Amino acid sequence: MDRLLFLRNSWRESASFASESSDEGVFPGPGGYLMQLVYYPDPILLKTARPLERIDGGLREKTAEMFELMYCESGVGLAAPQVGWGVRLFIFNCLGEEDRSGERVFINPRILGRGEDYLVEEEGCLSIPEVKGKVSRPDEILAEFQDLSGEMRREELCDIESRVFQHEFDHLNGVLFLRHLNTTEKLVAKKMLRELEKEYSERGETAGSGPPGRSGDS
């Protein structure tokens, strides 16, 4: 989710999630990272990502860079389009930076089935600073994806893993969590979105050209 600010209840703590300008999806950014976040209303965030055809050692390096950027932003998930890379790939670690055993990479993912029970939780997005709202999603899903070895896997996900997967999967289809908000929350978000659009326009922004002028956001 982008600053995918995703608020988790009970066992959860407050957390945030991270223009197809280049196949490499890397741009000079702050903090020593080649990659940097792409912000609303960058056009790449509304595009459908293409399948990733080549899985090699270079991909492992790119996903490692994505994890470091995600941790830098206190995130739990990050999709490739959020760093200006228009391919069907995302990462997450629902355990947080302190436990890297939870790192997952999902390549060319699909959702094969959704459970009947829905939960409403608050989400936000690293690519849409300061905007958040409640989103209803299935608590369980059946997912299919390739891992970093290229192996096809099928897995049932529930609770926070299901929610983060669905949020990031939406990014691959050009869908922002804003679409899932109710009418009242959309109206509340509208003013902040206009401010982001104004900043983007004033910078003469082109896809993937950099973050808004507000360093230190978390």
Catalytic site residues?
168
Residue type, 66: M
Burial class (CB in 10 A: 0-12, 13-18, 19+), 135: buried
CA–CA gap between residue 189 and residue 201 (Å, rounded): 18
Q: What is the residue whose two structure tokens read 């209803």?
A: 136
What residues contact 137, with CB distance under 8 A and at least 6 apart? 118, 119, 121, 162, 163, 166, 167, 180
